[in-house]
Amino acid sequence: MTRDLGEHLSLSTGVVVARGETPIFGAGDRIRIRTRSPIGHYRVPIYLRGKRGVVERIIEPIAIDNEQEGYGRNAGGRLHYYRVAIPLNEIWLDYIGSPRDGLHIEVYETWLERM
């Protein structure tokens, strides 16, 4: 991903990308899954809210926000999902197993905050 000039213009091609087309996180970025509780059904399990992890990869292509779409509130907005890795001993303080064991999950951009 080219991220020159405020993420909107690639210097090499001059192509201007639309808002949201460029992922704001990259592989290796340290993130936290947000702690919030919108009304209704959405796809971020409660056991992962507030947990810290690392972005493993960007999932292409950009996709609709299922949290909005399910309630007919999405005006075609699309952002990236990210595959995120979270150590199991970050999720469960009494986890039994290797400290390298991990939970991997795809999380929508609106649910991630940079650390």
Partner 1 sequence: MGGNRHSHDHDHDQHAEVGDPSPPQYYEIMEAAVRELLIEKKMIQPDEIRRQIEVLDSRTPALGAKIVARAWVDPAFRARLLANGRTACEEFGISFYDDTQLIVLENTDKVHNLIVCTLCSCYPRPVLGLPPDWYKLKPYRARAVIEPRSLLAEFGTIIPEDVEVRVSDSTAMVRYLVLPKRPAGSEKFSEEELAALVTRDAMIGVIPATIPAGSVEQ
| Least distance from partner 1 to the Cβ atom of residue 109, Å | 12
Residue 109: name the closest of 45, 48, 64 by CA: 64
Overall size of the chain counted in residues: 115
Among 26, 38, 40, 45, binds partner 1 (CB under 8 A): 45
Distance of alpha carbon 56 from alpha carbon 82, whole angstroms: 7
**CA–CA gap between residue 60 and residue 80 (Å, rounded):** 7
Name the token pair of 6.
């405020």
Tell which one of 47, 50, 113, 114 touches partner 1 (CB under 8 A).
47
Cβ-based nearer residue to partner 1, 35 or 98? 98
Q: Is 19 in the site for partner 1 (CB under 8 A)?
A: no
Provide the binding-site residues for partner 1, judged by CB under 8 A: 43-45, 47, 59, 63, 66, 81, 83, 88, 91-92, 96-98, 100-106, 108
